[in-house]
Structure formats: C-alpha cells, structure tokens
Amino acid sequence: MQSLAQIDIGPAYREEQEKQLLARIAARKQELGDQLLILCHHYQQDSVFSFAHVTGDSLKLARQAALATDRRYIVFCGVHFMAESADILTADEQIVILPDLTAGCSMADMASREQVAAAWQELAPLVDLEEIIPITYVNSSARLKAFVGERNGSVCTSSNAERALTWALSQGEKVFFFPDEHLGRNSAQAVGIPPEQVVLWSRGEPLGGNSAADLRQAKVILWDGYCTVHMQFSEAQVRAVRQADPGVQVIVHPECRQEVVQAADFYGSTEAIIKAVSESPAGSSWAVGTEINLVRRLAWQYPDQKIRSLSPVDCLCSTMYRIDPAHLLWTLDNLAEGRIVNQIRVDEETADQARTALDRMLNI
C-alpha cells in the first residue's frame, strides 16, 4: 500500500482570495472537460461542493466513478478511505485523486488491520474462528476491508448495516463488527439481539476488557471506534429541542450513541436523512443530528421548512474540511499541466480481497 505525504501547495494557493480560487476552479473544470469527474461527499463545504459532477455518500460516489468509464481523472472530495473504495471499484486506466492527503477519518484510524488481526487471534482459544463473521463499516481502510474479505465477511454501510448483521448471523455463530461501536449497537438492537449478547472490545485491553465467558456467550462483538462528529449529539439536546419546539421531528445518523437514536423520531444514513427532509411538507420542523454542512445545505434547499442542527454548536468534520478550494485548484492545475498528484492506489492483492467483501455486501 502506498504511503504518501501531502506536499505544501504554497502561498500562491493558500493566500489567494476565495473569489479568485473559485473562478480559476471553474475555468480548469471546463478546460479538463470530459476527462474529469469531481465527486463530493455530502459533508463537503459548499465552496467545493458546488463544483461536483456527482454528490452522495461514500459508496454511492465510488460506484458512480466505476460507472463513468469515460472519465480518466476521478477527483474525490471526501476522505482517504472513500478514495480507496473508488480506486478498488474503478478501472485500471482511471486515476483516483484525493486533493489533500491529510483528509483522513479518525474512525477509520481507530481500527487498523494489525489491531483487528491481533484481537482476532486473541479470540482463537475461546471460540471457533470459522464461526465468527467479520463485518466492517465502509468507513474503514482498504486493508481492513481485505481482512474481512479473506474471512468470509462483508462490508456494510449505514443504510444496510442491519441487513448485513442479519446475514452474518445466518452464516456463523458470532459477528465481529468494526470500527463503529454505535452503528453496530444500534443495528444489533434493531434486529432484536438482546443487550446481554452484545459486548464491547476495548482496544489495548486483554480480551478487549471482557471475560472469556462473556465473549463465548456474545452474539455480537463491537469494536470501540466512533465518529467524532456524531459523538457530539446527546439525549439532552433532543429533550431541549423538543421543549423549545413541541412540533419538531428529530432525525439522527446511526453513528450517534444509542440513547440519542432511541430518543429521536427517526434515524438513518445521510441519504435517508436527505430523503426524509426533502419529502416533508412545507412548514415541517426538523432537528438533524449529523454534520453541519449537510444540515445547512438542507436548510438552504428547503426554506419553507424549519431545519437546524440538533446541536447548538456546529458539528464539523474537520478532516473533510481539509478538502478546500485551494487544494482542489492545485489538483486541477496540475492535471491541466499534465501532472498527476495525490493519486490513491490500492495494491492488487488488497483490492481483490476488499472487492470480495464489497461484492458480498451488494449480494446481501
């Protein structure tokens, strides 16, 4: 797997006025024409989002890139694991680029392949590893997806985690779910797994901080990862917004804590949140528990509704925010001048196994 560092793009980009940056991006986008496909995740800032050819969640964007076989340059305005998924799914001649290599994901970084493999081996004396089905959230590295693919497991998204969990328990006795504890816990509850059969594997502790007996009786073992954005929402915020507006509907992402999901009226993926709000009648009132750029965009798109964040403070994905107009322009300038920068490449062996895990998800 490649290991690259982001180079300093220089003051000519960093100190340029935003108005000029945006005008130059527009010109480069037109110049590169049909060679270029700009993908933007829903959490991307508006100054970049406005240049997208395609918008969506991470897997949707990767699949759209794979379908766009006529586009050579795939500029992914998201984070590193998303660009990896695009590289796995696209053709060899397509080039996937991440405008800023420092745009990572703290949740994905909480579960490396090495950490998960060590935990897997710790379980070996206690249970039959052939009866454990690993499930990794799409918010994970390609190497971790490959680990899952090698062990008959599947990837999942926030919209199909419940189906993936049900499938896994039809294939084996236990599920090891990573890296997001909260998506796993909310999904386990939704499919009716008793809380006493769900345990948390705490990183760095022997047996993940569990007794051998607890691990033997568990149906679902959760990794203790989390999204720093969605951890900022609380049950107290739900109570406060209801008190201020009795007619409000609360919708949150399933990466939120279980008590927040339980207190909300609805929960769902970014696409599900967008669908719920977009299909609501004028006058509807919403408090939304997800990243602030998406919430603000919804409020702007549907001014006949009252839409605001569940949290009184802005819950921003700081790593996503690193993909800014300066880095996007720098990327496009280099492409226009015949230079490829920040190409994301997953080695063939890893890509094959990760693709296997992604294909299992699509077949579930």
Q: What's the pLDDT tens digit per position in 87-102?
A: 999 999 999 999 999 9
Percent of the chain with pLDDT over 90: 97
Name the pLDDT band for 161 (thresholds 50, 70, 90): very high
pLDDT of res. 2: 52
Q: Please say if the pLDDT value at position 143 is more than 90.
A: yes
Q: What percent of the chain has pLDDT over 70?
A: 99
Instruction: Mark whether 239 and 217 lie in a shared domain.
Output: no
Q: What confidence tier does 169 reach under pLDDT thresholds 50, 70, 90?
A: very high
Buried b (16+ CB within 10 A) or exposed e, 246-269: eebbbbbbbbbbbebbebbeebbb
Half-sphere exposure of residue 58, counting CA atoms within 13 Å on the CB side? 24
In a domain, 355, yes or no: no
Residue 166: predicted pLDDT? 97
Q: State the pLDDT at residue 3.
A: 54
CA atoms within 13 A on the CB side of 300: 7
Domain of 216, CATH number, reads 3.40.50.10800
Residues 300 and 328 in one domain: no
353 in any annotated domain: no
Domain stops at, among 197, 226, 255: 226
Question: Does residue 258 share a domain with residue 203?
Answer: no
pLDDT above 70 (res 227): yes
Summarised one tens digit per residue, pLDDT across range 273-283 is 999 999 999 99
Q: How confident is the model at residue 364 (pLDDT cuts 50, 70, 90)?
A: confident
Phi, psi for residue 222 in degrees, rounded to 5: -100, 135
As a dihedral over the C-alpha atoms of residue 15, residue 20, residue 26, residue 30, rounded to 10 degrees, the angle is -100
Mean pLDDT of 292-309: 98
The answer to whether residue 352 sits within a structural domain is: no
pLDDT at 242 over 60: yes
Domain boundary among 264, 289, 309: 309
The answer to the question of residue 1 being in a domain is no
For 7-28, how does the pLDDT look when each residue is reduced to its tens digit (9 = 90+)? 999 999 999 999 999 999 999 9
Same structural domain, 95 and 203: no
| Residue 359 falls inside a structural domain | no
Number of domains in the chain: 3
Instruction: Tell whether 4 is covered by a domain.
Output: no
Please give the span between the terminal C-alpha atoms of the chain, in angstroms, as a whole number.
Answer: 29
Is 291 domain-assigned? yes
Residue 138 covered by a domain: yes
pLDDT tops 60 at residue 1: no
Count of CB atoms situated within 10 Å of the CB of 210: 18
Query: Do both 28 and 90 map to the same domain?
Result: yes
**Does 156 lie in the same domain as 221?**
yes
- Cα-only R_g, the chain: 21
Q: Looking at the structure, tell me whether residues 120 and 211 fall in a common domain.
A: yes
Residues 142 and 56 in one domain: no
Residues 157 and 100 in one domain: no
Average pLDDT, the chain: 96
How does residue 61 score in pLDDT terms, banded at 50, 70 and 90? very high
Structural domain of 286: 230-309
SS3 assignment, position 81: helix
Residue with tokens 């500029």: 75
User: HEC states along 234-285?
Assistant: CHHHHHHHHHHCCCCEEEECCCCCHHHHHHCCEECCHHHHHHHHHCCCCCCE
* 171 and 194 share one domain: yes
Question: Do 207 and 248 sit in the same domain of this protein?
Answer: no
CB atoms within 10 A of CB 326: 20
Let me know whether 210 and 300 are in one domain. no
